[in-house]
Amino acid sequence: MLDQIEKYLSKLTEDRSSCPDNQAIAAQDDVVVFSGEPLFSHIAKETLKSLGCFAVVVAKPALPFADYLLQRARDHECKITPRDTESRTFLHDIPIIRKKELENNPARAISARLAGRRGVIAEGIGIIAAGTLTVEQAYINWSSVFHSTFVKYLSDILNEGFTLSGEADAFISFRNDWLRPLTSEGLEFRKGPIKTKEDILDEVIRVGRYVERRGLVDSFFGNISYACGNLLYISQTASSLDNLSGCIDPVPFDDSSTVGITASSELAAHRAIIEKTGCRAILHGHPRFAVVMSMLCGERESCAISDCWKDCPKIRFLGNTPVVAGEIGAGGLAKNVSPVIGKTGQAIVYGHGVFSIGGSDFAEAFRGMINVENFCRNEYFKLLDNKN
């Protein structure tokens, strides 16, 4: 069990979402096993005992966005509600716990708010997340809250500006120091078309790792596929893109087997894109600036549509990249993305992320996704600079 704890503590550090001296994980084995910063370890252990779950992650994010969202919330508010698709389908909303509630017994206050939820934000501590069955679940939930608060904070300051003391300086540090240039330099791609099962699996595993390690997707979200003959090799649902070995399904296009039952929830969208464009390679990630920019709409105040993410009939553009609405899974993505992605090779889904295609290999798809995210990053900072 301790090796699992150390594995996910390392992942929090590797993806730069937290730092080694500000994180801890506790898990239930024959006895409670834990590792990490002593105070956070104590909170994790006591919260674990109170909840009766399998694992608890307590970690202060490397960025102060979650705490700023808590401070920006009105005194009577006990949760924040991000609008991105990942939050809406996975988290719904994120409870917040203020310092005064943590004074006497932090673990009791946290466990009361965390019961039945995936994660919370505790002022002065950070993000706390629970896993009912595995350490991995607790890590996924923590990572999802980090992603959601990142997206919501960037959206909020674009709309409202900086309102807290020290906030602008912290954002400058994020912009200049935490953000890194996003490129495909140093990455190798197999030239297509890729013809053998072994080569396809090897390339899907490798490129999935690239997508996660370049920050184009968080946690266990996003998906990847490659078409060859009558088979679509696609990542399984809830699989981690940086560890796809054994998690890729060869799904027949003619539905001649039931292997697709464990495939990504975006299987229908991948199939529709391939049928419409004739491409072989598809990447779907959740790059954060693309998610933020996709939710900007100048017509919102005058528009009668309330569920923009699934009901908006319009095709908007970020640069040359189309932005469409649509439900995930077998909903609107399959019918809304496939008609628009062929012209440029990329499409953005409202609040959800980017689909990018390659004619015969993943090099084109990967670079296309990077280009979209870099464009959205630049556009975001242009808008923010013009407001401040």
Q: What is the spatial distance between Cα 165 and Cα 169, in angstroms, rounded to a whole number?
A: 9
pLDDT in tens, 115-148: 989 999 999 999 999 999 999 999 999 999 999 9
Q: For the whole model, what pTM was predicted?
A: 0.94
Q: What is the spatial distance between Cα 140 and Cα 121, in angstroms, rounded to a whole number?
A: 15
* 271 Cα distance to chain centroid: 22
C-alpha separations of 243 from 15, 66, 146, 204 in Å: 14, 28, 20, 10
pLDDT in tens, 60-114: 999 999 999 999 998 888 999 888 877 777 778 899 999 999 998 999 999 999 9
pLDDT for the residue 298: 72
Mean pLDDT of 299-303: 70
Query: What is the DSSP code (8-state) at residue 300?
Result: G
Q: Does domain 197-387 have CATH number 3.40.225.10?
A: yes
> Across the chain, what does the average pLDDT equal?
92
**188 φ, ψ to 5°?**
-110, 140
Scan for tokens 């491409």, then name that residue.
279
At 337 the three-state DSSP class reads helix
pLDDT for the residue 85: 79
Nearest partner of 266 among 243, 235, 288, judged by Cα: 235
Q: Which CATH class is domain 2-178?
A: alpha beta
Q: Is 199 a residue whose pLDDT tops 90?
A: yes
* Chain region(s) in the chain for CATH 3.40.225.10: 2-178, 197-387
